[in-house]
């Protein structure tokens, strides 16, 4: 779970890390007030949960409080489309107004999880502001990684190695060591997956100031960190995805025309892949999961069909823990409430397959039955074209 | 022969008295798995499904000498359950639990190294050596004994693969789900090494997916040490968008790394037969085996 | 560094561990007041830093507040001689007045350091109240040890193994797991060497109550725990030992008649041993250490000679970092201020030995010089007898 | 030959610019030790005693390829200094620092296992292979090359032993102080194993003391694997009172364990010649060596 920049900075502040002076606002009037309190020039930063805000016009400089008010009025209530936000963009409901920092140098500091080495990793880059992966590709020598174990923490000597790699002056070495030690401890205590300060700037007095911050928490650990879980901003999620999540469904909206309803993440991906293989485009990823209820299946089917891009649907169930009859009942219930005007191909296999098929057949709804996985995909692709 | 488990494996169920564990332990017993005991703290001394229940794994190990444990506990108790099993001397731990925090799993991995125990999962359907033993939640009846080894990051997709193999007349030596999480126990490389030496196994099917580098590591392994049996691979997620988690906690393309295309290229370069239509897993494996003969 | 029971219980209270209700008092009137507040019967526990208080009469039961006052008057200001306190005993300056707990069962719970396994160790015993070493010797089956690493902490499953070993009821299992987890975390965070709750009792309602508590901290770690360092009670130290400690000297008073002044702990022990070997008894262990000053050497010599049991003294220096001349100067300075009425044997070797010898000789004081280690010991033993 | 260090050992000094380190590094250089660099964070780039100073051990290793490090840092920085050296690939770490908290040392020990580095100390005078290299704070001039290996828990007592040996015409192959703390690096057993294979060493003198079980472990080791050279031992503290720390943090009889008498009995039973008069270390070693011939 990603949190907003302003929320992340609240944590950094508690850790004692230097930040630009700032105020979080949600109206243009508040923005004006904040700007005059902080004294201009200030920066207005749209709080959306996606990177690439700068290039998308989500970060603006204001030279006067009036200016700040006008720019805030433009941003607030709009949807910001960034390189990472997806086409509909994300709603701007809050703006972080910050005093402009005069920057002498920008660097990168981050903590993450290295899956391959099964360790935590502290990463620094001699250049800040760009994505670390791009910097790694462009100038690998300017990056240093040090692995550490969550039980051991980042050692002082490791923090020093990172600091010296950054070629900081002696006073900043101490500051940096403090920062990265604090950040790594926070990372471990709160079960983070990613903590980035990018850019971390050296201001004119040589102080280290966190200009931007990105904290991502491990969804699996949220039950033991309720104070983090409560920071979730649902306005930043796709409506269908949010709805699906609440029903325990894994749904991700994509750009194609064939909706998929599958049990199991791997089979759901394979279903998307085979659609592509036969020349179609999947409209979504949808894994109903193992412990699904009839009601959740209904909701899954409704979500699927609510996507106006969908031309045909493919239900692919390999019953194991999930019973085919339960899925069938859920689908029928939902389908009966919709005007089912799109073709639906069904492939059932495994636990209670006969009963499932009977339920679907007896519903009188126009389902198309496929004998196997391949036929199901072919049919769904063909049917998606017929409706054009 | 088979790998990891066979008819002699003595299986302990951690969290036995829970709903899911009860259901699946019944299925395991029906399949013929030698389940010998269960653990639920606070229920020691009771019987459940006819099995003795213990308060700790240590007590269960002392009394019933299990060598394999299968774990059905809540996610935040998962890491501890694995550590407890390893410390008690369990050789192979199969963790079904999904949703264990990733930092917990990093701790688990160093713990396992200390105790020399092997882990399958977490977030796995488990392991089955058809006709001998089933330690997990997969539907037993779709399997049959035979020459194909399966290593997979996914559950239902493995069932699909097994189903196709069985329809094509091919049974399985052992099918192991390595789990869909970012940090798991045994991976492709370790299991390929086990299948290498298993006389029953004549071909190995890898079922990979986006995220991480387990497939790339398998490719490196196969490239550097010639493998005596045909290896086939299907990698799910060629259509997956970057930066989105597709169901499994580990199935995500991050920082441009872990795409299906990259994995497929690497595996192909290592001599692995790539299956690009997931409905042809059975067919292509049958082909590979007939070519070999 | 050991702290008093009442100080230890203050920590346990902060951890949420159940304790008998109690008050710490330093006058008989306060004891009376405490007893009536708590309602009798109460127990009065003399706060001295040594085990074996019970058998030494330091733990008394009072049935009325008047009784409590009288008993407190007897204890306060007295010196308590226990099996561990040494002959002069320890001054009783505070009494812990506690409500008497009706005990159903007593067990042992402790955390310590296992030198051999280089690990922390949690220990439980099915019987409480006696020393764990004695219990281990008498009934080894009634004890269970589990090792753990300070970075990993005691795991929940390990705490449970201990709890089940103790054959507690289910409600107490949870309580015990809480207690031992908390105690082990405290042990790690504050760098303890030993944490014992002995006895840990089950009261009549089946609650776990810590009847006695012993916390020992690692002296080496005190600089990073100033809040612990400040708990030191100097009244509980031998006066000479305390004085020595303040001068950076390692001095331990013993029962013999030959005082020793040596550099290095090993050589100091060997000096004691060789005195014994030749039929004498060392009066003390005294290591002046490596970084010693002239002034500290003077103080060391004074401390040595201040022991009225001392009949002769042996100065044994193998100069390495410590220079013989510095030691000589320190000894001479101190000896000149004393009426040197006891024979002093000197053996010098190593760095600046000639200069050291010259200084001693030129002082005009009656030092006896020995050619080597063995001769020095023989001479000191013989001279200690002559003065009888 | 010698163990641990010789004339080729390239020595790094951690904390070089400190007062004590400066003094002893001068003595080491005078003795002929190949000191190649120093580390003091914040003083990288400077020269001290003619040696290059680096900010981190890693930088020093990259530039000067030391394989041995000697540590002179404050007690609470000691554990980190050892870990830093191990992580940077130093093979042998000699830690002079006294007063490192014992839990820090427990952490250090598992860290060392991970990196495969050896530690001498902490709270040790160091190691000397007379005539070749001196890595520590012992007075070099009392030593001379020869056939006796020394392993000791004490500083000045080792000097005493060396002095007696030299007076008896016996030089030393290597004298190593293992440190007076409760948890230290290499102990009697590991060093006995090294001396076993060292052709220069013809006899080994152990200098033990009260506390812990290093002497008992040595006895067990010697009992189970016959040792090809005479081993002598003096154990200090036969007169030590129980429960009192005698100077060294590790020299304490706790819970009735670790008395000199117990250790002596165990060593004697393992065939070790016990020296009960500490003034006769040299004489008895000379006797043992002449009997052997």
Q: Are C283 and C310 in contact (CB under 8 A)?
A: yes
Tokens 């006008």 locate to A70
Q: Which residues of B fall within a CB distance of 8 Å from A321?
A: 137
Q: Tell me which of D103, D138, D213, D251 to substitute to probe the interface with C (most C C-beta atoms closer than 10 Å).
A: D103
B215 is written with which tokens?
A: 């497939």
Which chains contact B through at least 3 pairs of Cβ atoms less than 8 Å apart?
A, C
Q: How confident is the model at residue D291 (pLDDT cuts 50, 70, 90)?
A: confident
Q: How confident is the model at residue C289 (pLDDT cuts 50, 70, 90)?
A: confident
Q: Tell me which of B44, B56, B61, B108 to substitute to probe the interface with C (most C C-beta atoms closer than 10 Å).
A: B56
- Residue C167 CB coordination number (10 Å): 11
Average pLDDT over residues A135-139: 91
- Rounded to whole angstroms, how far apart are CA atoms D23 and D137? 9
List, as ranges, residues 221-250 from B with C-beta within 8 Å of C: none
Helix (H, G, I), strand (E, B) or coil at A52: coil
Select the more confidently predicted residue: B26 or C238.
B26
Q: Which residues of D fall within a CB distance of 8 Å from A160?
A: 41, 55-56
Q: In this structure, what DSSP letter does residue C78 have? A: S
Answer whether B124 touches A (CB < 8 Å): no
- pLDDT over threshold 70, residue A123: yes
Choose the closest CB to B246 out of A269, A289, A374: A269
Choose the closest CB to C161 out of B42, B58, B81: B58
Q: So what's the pLDDT on residue C340?
A: 83
Size of interface A-B (CB pairs under 8 A): 172
Q: So what's the pLDDT on residue A387?
A: 55
B157 is written with which tokens?
A: 């997709």
Segment A346-388, tens digit of pLDDT: 999 988 999 999 999 999 999 999 999 999 999 999 999 975 4
- Rounded to whole angstroms, how far apart are CA atoms B223 and B246? 29
Among left, alpha and beta (phi > 0; psi -120 to 50; other), residue B42 is left
Beta bridge partners of A201: A106, A209
Helix (H, G, I), strand (E, B) or coil at D180: coil
SS3 assignment for A320-350: CCCCHHHHHHHHHHHHHHCCCCCCEEEEEEE
Q: Are A358 and A258 in contact (CB under 8 A)?
A: no
DSSP per-residue string spanning chain B:
--SS--TT-EEEEETTTSHHHHHHHHHHHHHT-EEEEEE-TT-TT-EETTEEEESSHHHHHHHH--SEEEE---GGGHHHHHHHHHHTT-SEEEE------HHHHHHHHHHHHHHT-EEE-SS--EEEETTTEEEESS-GGG--EEEEEEEES-SHHHHHHHHHHHHTT--EEEEEE--SSSS-SS-HHHHHHHHHT-TT--EEEEEEESSSSHHHHHHHHHHHS--SS-EEEEEE-TTPPTT---SSTT---BTTB--HHHHHHHHHHTTPEE--SGGGHHHHHHHHHHHH-
C309-to-A217, A257, C28 alpha-carbon distances in Å = 69, 101, 36
Q: How confident is the model at residue C88 (pLDDT cuts 50, 70, 90)?
A: confident
The C-alpha of B48 sits at a distance from chain A's nearest C-alpha, in angstroms, of 21
Q: Are D10 and D36 in contact (CB under 8 A)?
A: yes
Rounded to 5°, angle at Cα C246 from C244 and C250: 40
Q: Are C299 and C249 in contact (CB under 8 A)?
A: yes
- Residue A347 CB coordination number (10 Å): 24
Q: How confident is the model at residue C210 (pLDDT cuts 50, 70, 90)?
A: very high
Q: So what's the pLDDT on residue D293?
A: 62
Answer whether B178 touches A (CB < 8 Å): no
Answer whether D44 touches A (CB < 8 Å): yes
D55 is written with which tokens?
A: 């900010």
Choose the closest CB to D56 out of A152, A164, A170: A164
Q: So what's the pLDDT on residue C282?
A: 97
Q: At what angle do helices A265-277 and A373-386 cross, to 10 degrees?
A: 60
The C-alpha of D225 sits at a distance from chain C's nearest C-alpha, in angstroms, of 20
Instruction: Answer whether 0.90 is exceeded by the pTM.
Output: yes
- Residue B29 CB coordination number (10 Å): 16
Select the more confidently predicted residue: A147 or A130.
A147
Q: Are A115 and B182 in contact (CB under 8 A)?
A: yes
Q: So what's the pLDDT on residue B265?
A: 97
Which chains contact C through at least 3 pairs of Cβ atoms less than 8 Å apart?
A, B, D
- Rounded to whole angstroms, how far apart are CA atoms A215 and A57? 22
DSSP H or E stretch at residue B194: helix B188-196
Q: Which residues of A fall within a CB distance of 8 Å from C149?
A: 151
The C-alpha of C169 sits at a distance from chain A's nearest C-alpha, in angstroms, of 28
- pLDDT over threshold 80, residue C86: no
The C-alpha of B40 sits at a distance from chain C's nearest C-alpha, in angstroms, of 12
Average pLDDT over residues C208-234: 96
Segment A185-200, tens digit of pLDDT: 999 999 999 999 999 9
Q: Are D157 and D278 in contact (CB under 8 A)?
A: yes
Answer whether B163 touches A (CB < 8 Å): yes
- Please name the residue of chain A whose CA is at the shortest distance from the CA of residue C152: A151
Q: So what's the pLDDT on residue A320?
A: 82
The C-alpha of C373 sits at a distance from chain D's nearest C-alpha, in angstroms, of 6
Interchain pair A191, B255: CB under 8 A:
no
Choose the closest CB to A164 out of D55, D81, D83: D55
Nearest to D182 by CA among D131, D130, D253: D253
- Residue D57 CA from chain centroid, whole number: 21
* Catalytic residue selected from C6, C108, C175, C302: C108
Segment D54-89, tens digit of pLDDT: 999 999 999 999 999 999 999 999 999 999 999 999
Average pLDDT over residues C271-297: 95
- Rounded to whole angstroms, how far apart are CA atoms C260 and C301? 9
Which chains contact D through at least 3 pairs of Cβ atoms less than 8 Å apart?
A, C
Q: Are B122 and B78 in contact (CB under 8 A)?
A: yes
- pLDDT over threshold 70, residue C278: yes
- Rounded to whole angstroms, how far apart are CA atoms B160 and A319? 10
B134 is written with which tokens?
A: 């089933």
Q: Which residues of C fall within a CB distance of 8 Å from D100?
A: 220
- Residue A234 CA from chain centroid, whole number: 11
Choose the closest CB to C160 out of B41, B83, B107: B41
Backbone angles phi, psi at D42, to 5 degrees: 95, -10
3-state helix, strand, coil split of chain B in percent (to 5) is 35, 25, 40
DSSP H or E stretch at residue A61: strand A59-62
B197 is catalytic: no
- Rounded to whole angstroms, how far apart are CA atoms A98 and A327? 52
- Please name the residue of chain D whose CA is at the shortest distance from the CA of residue C262: D156
Interchain pair C252, D163: CB under 8 A:
no
DSSP H or E stretch at residue B235: strand B231-236
Nearest to C340 by CA among C312, C314, C381: C312
Interchain pair B213, A115: CB under 8 A:
yes
Q: At what angle do helices D188-196 and D214-224 cross, to 10 degrees?
A: 40
Q: Are A9 and A210 in contact (CB under 8 A)?
A: yes
Q: Tell me which of C82, C86, C115 to substitute to probe the interface with D (most D C-beta atoms closer than 10 Å).
A: C115
- Residue A386 CB coordination number (10 Å): 9
Q: Which residues of chain B have pLDDT under 70?
A: 293
- Rounded to whole angstroms, how far apart are CA atoms C59 and C53? 6
Choose the closest CB to B56 out of C152, C164, C170: C164
Average pLDDT in chain D = 96
Interchain pair C157, B42: CB under 8 A:
no
Q: In this structure, what DSSP letter does residue B249 have? A: T
Tokens 């085919």 locate to A324
Half-sphere exposure of A302 (CA within 13 A, CB side): 17
Q: At what angle do helices C170-189 and C5-15 cross, to 10 degrees?
A: 110
Choose the closest CB to A156 out of D44, D80, D107: D80
List, as ranges, residues 71-110 from D with C-beta within 8 Å of C: 75-76, 99-107, 109-110
Torsion from C-alpha of D93, D98, D102, D105, nearest 10 degrees: -10
Q: How confident is the model at residue D204 (pLDDT cuts 50, 70, 90)?
A: very high
Q: Are D57 and D35 in contact (CB under 8 A)?
A: no
C240-244, C264-268, D206-210: the lowest-pLDDT one: C240-244
- pLDDT over threshold 90, residue A209: yes
Beta bridge partners of C45: C59, C96
Average pLDDT over residues A206-222: 96
Q: How confident is the model at residue C387 (pLDDT cuts 50, 70, 90)?
A: low
Strands A90-91 and A79-80: antiparallel
Q: How confident is the model at residue A12 (pLDDT cuts 50, 70, 90)?
A: very high
- Please name the residue of chain D whose CA is at the shortest distance from the CA of residue A162: D56
Interchain pair C276, D239: CB under 8 A:
yes
Half-sphere exposure of A47 (CA within 13 A, CB side): 24
DSSP per-residue string spanning D193-216:
HHHHT-TT--EEEEEEESSSSHHH
C53 is written with which tokens?
A: 């208080």
């Amino acid at each position: 779970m990603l949190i907003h920049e302003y929320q992340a900075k609240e944590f950094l502040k508690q850790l004692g890390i230097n930040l630009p002076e700032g105020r979080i606002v949600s109206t243009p009037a508040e923005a004006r007030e904040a700007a005059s309190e902080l004294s201009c020039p200030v920066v207005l930063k749209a709080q959306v949960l996606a990177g690439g805000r700068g290039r998308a016009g989500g970060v603006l400089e204001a030279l006067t409080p009036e200016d700040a008010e006008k720019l805030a009025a433009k941003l607030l209530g709009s949807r910001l489309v960034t390189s990472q936000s997806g086409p509909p963009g994300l709603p701007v409901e809050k703006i972080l107004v910050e005093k402009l920092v005069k920057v002498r140098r920008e660097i990168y500091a981050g903590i993450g999880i290295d899956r391959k080495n099964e360790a935590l990793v502290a990463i620094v880059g001699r250049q800040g502001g760009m994505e670390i992966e791009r910097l790694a590709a462009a100038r690998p020598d300017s990056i240093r990684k040090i692995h550490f174990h969550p039980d051991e923490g980042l050692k002082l000597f490791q923090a020093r190695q990172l600091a010296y790699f950054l070629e900081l002056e002696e006073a900043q070495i101490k500051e940096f060591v403090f920062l990265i030690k604090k950040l790594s401890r926070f990372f471990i205590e709160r079960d983070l997956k990613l903590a980035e300060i990018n850019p971390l700037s050296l201001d004119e007095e040589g102080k280290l100031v966190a200009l931007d911050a990105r904290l991502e928490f491990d969804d699996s650990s949220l039950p033991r960190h309720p104070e983090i879980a409560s920071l979730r901003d649902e306005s930043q999620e796709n409506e269908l995805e949010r709805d699906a999540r609440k029903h325990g469904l894994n749904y991700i909206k994509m750009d194609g025309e064939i909706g998929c309803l599958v049990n199991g993440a791997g089979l759901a991906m394979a279903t998307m892949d085979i659609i592509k293989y036969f020349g179609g485009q999947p409209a979504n990823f949808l894994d109903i999961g193992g412990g699904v209820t009839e009601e959740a299946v209904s909701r899954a089917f409704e979500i699927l069909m609510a996507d106006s891009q969908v031309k045909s649907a493919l239900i692919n169930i390999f019953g194991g823990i999930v019973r085919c009859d339960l899925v069938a009942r859920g689908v029928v219930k939902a389908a009966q409430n919709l005007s089912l005007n799109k073709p639906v191909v069904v492939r059932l296999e495994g636990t209670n397959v006969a009963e499932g098929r009977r339920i679907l057949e007896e519903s009188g709804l126009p389902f198309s039955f496929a004998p196997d996985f391949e036929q199901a995909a072919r049919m769904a692709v063909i049917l998606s074209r017929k409706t054009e | 022969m088979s790998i990891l488990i066979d008819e002699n494996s003595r299986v302990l169920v951690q969290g036995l008295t829970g709903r899911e564990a009860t259901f699946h332990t019944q299925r395991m017993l029906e399949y013929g798995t030698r389940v010998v005991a269960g653990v639920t703290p606070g229920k020691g001394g009771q019987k459940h499904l006819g099995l003795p229940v213990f308060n700790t794994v240590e007590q269960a190990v002392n009394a019933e000498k299990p060598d394999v444990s299968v774990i059905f506990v809540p996610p935040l108790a998962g890491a501890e359950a694995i550590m407890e099993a390893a410390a008690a001397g369990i050789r192979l731990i199969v963790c079904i639990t999904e949703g264990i925090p990733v930092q917990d799993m990093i701790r688990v991995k160093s713990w396992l190294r200390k105790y020399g125990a092997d882990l399958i999962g977490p977030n796995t359907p488990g392991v089955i050596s058809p006709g001998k033993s089933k330690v997990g939640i997969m539907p037993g009846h779709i399997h049959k004994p035979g020459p194909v080894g399966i290593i997979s990051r996914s559950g239902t997709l493995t069932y699909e693969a097994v189903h196709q193999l069985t329809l094509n007349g091919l049974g399985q030596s052992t099918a192991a789900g390595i789990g869909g999480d970012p940090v798991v126990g045994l991976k492709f490389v370790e299991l390929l090494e086990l299948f290498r030496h298993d006389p029953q196994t004549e071909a190995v099917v890898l079922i990979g997916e986006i995220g991480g580098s387990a497939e790339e590591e398998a490719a490196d392994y196969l490239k550097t040490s010639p493998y005596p049996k045909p290896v086939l691979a299907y990698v799910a997620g060629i259509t997956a968008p970057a930066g989105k988690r597709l169901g499994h906690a580990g199935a995500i393309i991050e920082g441009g790394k872990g795409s299906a295309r990259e994995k497929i290229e690497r595996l192909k370069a290592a001599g692995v037969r790539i299956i690009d239509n997931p409905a042809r897993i059975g067919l292509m494996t049958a082909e590979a085996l007939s070519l070999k003969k």
